[in-house]
């Protein structure tokens, strides 16, 4: 059932306060991708077990597969069932129209990223689109996130090595971050400091000194995309510096697939795959989420 506008505004107002809490208290929301209902249940069980506030997020692909209103309903039903603090983020929304639809559906967090659809989008195009979404978000009070350029990688298991010399060319800088935030009025800046979408054959290395300088240069929240495959000590330091949101996807997807493959191999005569997912996969994904909650220092911080 669709939420009323007053209820959406109430949820968004609380989400804003909680982001402020995270920054002040030095913990971060884990933003975990919602591929399907079992993934959502895994996140919910981890959040319940550790009394941790969480975000679940969907990209354009999941929106097309599940539907905005269905996602909103799934999350609300799960929140009520498990008695947890959970919000929804529209991740890497590729157009202003798609972002506006997420706002209207009652998502508390909106990430506008037109560079996903057009890697060569100009600075002027990115700023104009972001400003339009920031203005439209005033309808509900949704928090808006963005970044000034395309963020590389993909939510998958990558076999290639990480070319840090190339990646460093797209690192955020304090001055550019400040200019972008001031030009757009966003609530959350997605920083690039060595984080990269996907999981690679070697662990990622984050430039925490750069993160400190970015934190000092802007007043808004900071997020880290591409958290999978990153040693946990980087996250522990990042939340101390002032990161409020960290995205995790590939680590969960890999755990899901490996657990399902193992279960199928061990149960060759079971054709109810849903039973195997409930029995073996949910717990495996839940374990990943629990480990991130520990790294993000969000255990015990929920206010359902």
Residue 150: per-residue pLDDT: 65
Angstrom distances, CA of residue 35 to CA of 110, 191, 256? 18, 24, 10
Angle between helical axes of 208-217 and 174-184 (0-180°, round to 10): 40
Closest CA to 250 of 197, 171, 181: 197
For residue 281, how far is the Cα from the chain centroid? 21
Q: Which residues are catalytic?
A: 91
Closest CA to 53 of 86, 19, 89, 26: 86
Contacts of 238 (CB under 8 A, 6+ apart): 28, 206, 208, 211, 224, 246
pLDDT digits (tens, 9 = 90+) for 134-164: 999 999 999 999 998 766 655 666 566 767 7
d(CA 246, CA 135): 25
Average pLDDT over residues 166-182: 90
* Averaged confidence pLDDT in the chain: 93
Least confident segment among 108-112, 186-190, 197-201: 197-201
pLDDT digits (tens, 9 = 90+) for 229-278: 899 999 999 999 999 999 999 999 999 999 999 999 999 999 999 999 99
Is residue 187 helix, strand or coil? coil
Contacts of 205 (CB under 8 A, 6+ apart): 164, 194, 234
Positions of E strands within the chain: 29-33, 54-58, 86-93, 109-112, 143-146, 153-157, 188-191, 197-199, 221-224, 245-248
pLDDT band at 182 (very low <50, low <70, confident <90, very high): very high
Residue 154: per-residue pLDDT: 56
CATH classification of 5-295 is 3.10.105.10, yes or no? Answer: no
Question: What's the alpha-carbon Rg for the chain, to the nearest Å?
Answer: 18
Residue 200, pLDDT > 80, answer no
- pTM above the 0.85 mark? yes
Contacts of 272 (CB under 8 A, 6+ apart): none
Q: Which helix (H) or strand (E) holds 37?
A: helix 37-50
């Amino acid at each position: 059932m669709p939420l009323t506008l007053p209820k959406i505004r109430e949820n968004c107002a609380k989400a804003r306060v909680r982001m402020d809490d995270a920054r002040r208290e030095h913990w971060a929301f884990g933003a975990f991708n919602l591929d399907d209902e079992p993934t959502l249940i895994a996140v919910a069980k981890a959040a319940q077990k550790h009394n941790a506030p969480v975000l679940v997020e969907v990209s354009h692909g999941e929106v097309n597969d599940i539907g905005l209103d269905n996602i909103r309903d799934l999350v609300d039903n799960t929140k009520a069932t498990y008695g947890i603090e959970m919000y929804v983020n529209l991740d890497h929304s590729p157009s202003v129209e798609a972002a506006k639809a997420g706002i209207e559906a009652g998502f508390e967090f909106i990430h506008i990223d037109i560079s996903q659809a057009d890697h060569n989008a100009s600075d002027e195009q990115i700023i104009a689109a972001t400003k339009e979404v920031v203005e439209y978000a005033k309808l509900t009070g949704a928090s808006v996130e963005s970044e000034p350029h395309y963020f590389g990688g993909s939510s998958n298991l990558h076999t290639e090595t990480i070319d840090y010399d190339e990646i460093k060319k797209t690192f955020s800088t304090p001055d550019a971050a400040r200019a972008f935030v001031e030009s757009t009025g966003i609530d959350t800046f997605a920083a690039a400091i060595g984080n990269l979408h996907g999981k690679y054959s070697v662990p990622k290395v984050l430039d925490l000194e750069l993160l400190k300088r970015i934190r000092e240069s802007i007043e808004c929240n900071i997020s880290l995309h591409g958290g999978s495959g990153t040693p946990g000590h980087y996250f522990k330091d990042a939340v101390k510096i002032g990161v409020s949101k960290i995205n995790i996807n590939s680590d969960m997807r890999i755990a899901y697939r490996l657990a399902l493959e193992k279960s199928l191999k061990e149960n060759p005569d079971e054709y109810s795959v849903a039973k195997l997912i409930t029995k073996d996969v949910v717990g495996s994904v839940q374990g990943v989420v629990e480990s991130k909650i520990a790294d993000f220092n969000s255990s015990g911080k929920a206010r359902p």
